[in-house]
Amino acid sequence: MHDPARPTPWTSVRRAADKDAFYHELARELDALLAGEPDGIANAANAAAAIFHALPDLNWAGFYFLRDTELVLGPFQGRPACVRIALGQGVCGTAAAQRRSILVPDVEAFPGHIACDTASRSELVVPLLRDGTLLGVLDLDSPVLARFDEADRVGCELLARVIAPAL
Ligand code: SME
């Protein structure tokens, strides 16, 4: 029996409207998970774990934080990853430099993609902004080609808006 306090199981998420409901539920869960904790690293760690376990078909979910002029690896779930990414480099550095989400259906077709885990086939990177300031990015990788669509982009941007104030 599905626990109504948990996000809708992904197996029942098919249409964009279903994904919208799924992400709103996950955003509420994240909001509750992060509420009252002032430590940004603890919150990023819990957010990465919650996202990794809520979304199916991921092999990596986590954060890169802006440190001076480059991105530095933050809390994540998945295989060990490259630690530093220059702004404008790879999918993460491009999303950070352009301050916009980047959806990559096929990582092999993205010039400059940085392969941290050779299992990754598709990727979604969403910038984390607080009061107009770039904090870093949320990075999701999947071993499935074209795993992410526009509904995932919109949904993950909602998650980023919930997470950013807690970082
Ligand atoms: N693929 C990313 C690098 C980070 S890993 O996926 C965790 C990129 O091209 O920026």
Which CATH number is 37's domain given? 3.30.450.40
Residue 85 lies in a domain: yes
Residue 6 lies in a domain: no
Residue nearest to atom 5 of ligand 1 (CA): 116
Residue 79 lies in a domain: yes
Q: What's the number of domains the chain is made of?
A: 1
Phi, psi of 28 (to 5 degrees): -65, -40
Question: Can you give the residue range of the structural domain that contains 121?
Answer: 14-166
Pocket of ligand 1 (CB under 6 A): 60, 81-82, 85, 90-93, 113-114, 116, 120, 123, 139, 141
Residue 74 lies in a domain: yes
Structure confidence at residue 1 (pLDDT)? 43
Q: What percent of the chain has pLDDT over 70?
A: 91
Residue 4 lies in a domain: no
**What is the distance in A from the centroid of ligand 1 to the CA of 28?**
27
The mean of the pLDDT values for the chain is 92
Distances, alpha carbon 99 to alpha carbons 4, 7, 74, 133, in Å? 35, 28, 18, 10
Residue 3 lies in a domain: no
Atom of ligand 1 nearest to the CA of 64: 4
Instruction: Report, as an integer, the average pLDDT of 100-129.
Output: 95
Structure confidence at residue 50 (pLDDT)? 97
Atom of ligand 1 nearest to the CA of 95: 10
